[in-house]
Amino acid sequence: MNKGDFELSIDTMLVYEKLITIGEGETIIYEDISAIIHRDIMECRHILDSARRKALNQDRIVFDCVRNVGLKRLDDKLIACIGDGVIPKLRRAIHRGRKALHCVKDFDSLSNVEKVKHNASLAVLGAVAVFTKPKKVARLEASIKDSPRLLSLPETFELFK
C-alpha cells in the first residue's frame, strides 16, 4: 500500500471531525474524546495522534496536550512559541543519539560505509546541537528582532557565525 492509498479508520475520522470544530484557545477533554469513540482514548492513543496529524496537515490546526486533561487548540501566538518546547526535546534527542554513537567499541572493524554513516551522523548531530544551544537561539532572536521575517538558510547560517 503506498502512502496515497491510506485510509483513516472510522474512529480517527470521528475524532478528527470533532477536533476541527474546536475554537482557538479552547480545550477538549479526554473524556469527551473517549465518548465519541466509546472507548478510552488513552488506551488507543494512535487514534488521537492520527486525528491531530490530519488536522495539522489538512486544516493547519495545531493542538497541544494539556497533561491529564485533554487537547488545547493553539492560536497564532502559542503556535509562534512552539519552538520553545520543541528545541529542548530536540537537544535531548541529539544528546542521546550522540551518546549512543560514541558507544562504538571497535570503529576499525566497521565497513567503510558504516564508518561514513557513523561520522556523518556525529557531524550532523553536533552541528544541530551547536545551532540549538540556548545562547545561540537567543543571539539569533536578538539579531532578527528588528526585522521579524522568515530568513533564508544562508542568512540564518550567517547569523550563527
- pLDDT for 3: 53
Same structural domain, 52 and 14: yes
Find the distance separating the first CA and the last CA of the chain, reported in whole Å. 46
Same structural domain, 14 and 74: yes
- pLDDT for 141: 87
11 CB neighbour count, 10 Å cutoff: 19
- pLDDT for 33: 97
- pLDDT for 1: 45
DSSP 22: S
Long-range contacts of 106-109 (CB under 8 A, 24+ apart): none
Which one-letter amino acid corresponds to residue 140? L
Query: What CA–CA distance (Å, rounded) separates 14 from 160?
Result: 45
State CA 117 to chain mean position distance: 24
List of E strands, the chain: 27-29, 63-66, 70-73
Same structural domain, 140 and 111: yes
The pLDDT tens digits for 120-150 are: 999 999 999 999 999 988 988 888 887 777 8
Burial group, residue 159, by CB count within 10 angstroms (0-12, 13-18, 19+): middle
What share of the chain has pLDDT > 90, as a percent?
A: 78
Q: Domain of 119? A: 82-159
Burial group, residue 150, by CB count within 10 angstroms (0-12, 13-18, 19+): exposed
Higher local confidence (pLDDT), 6 or 58: 58
Which one-letter amino acid corresponds to residue 152? S
- pLDDT for 8: 77
Residue 66: CA count within 13 A, CB half-sphere: 13
Same structural domain, 56 and 90: no
Please determine, for residue 5, whether its predicted confidence score (pLDDT) is greater than 60.
no
Q: Last residue of some domain: 18, 43, 78? A: 78
Number of domains the chain contains: 2
The pLDDT tens digits for 43-88 are: 999 999 999 999 999 999 999 999 999 999 999 999 999 999 999 9
Q: Last residue of some domain: 25, 49, 78? A: 78
- Write out the three cell numbers for 129: 546541537
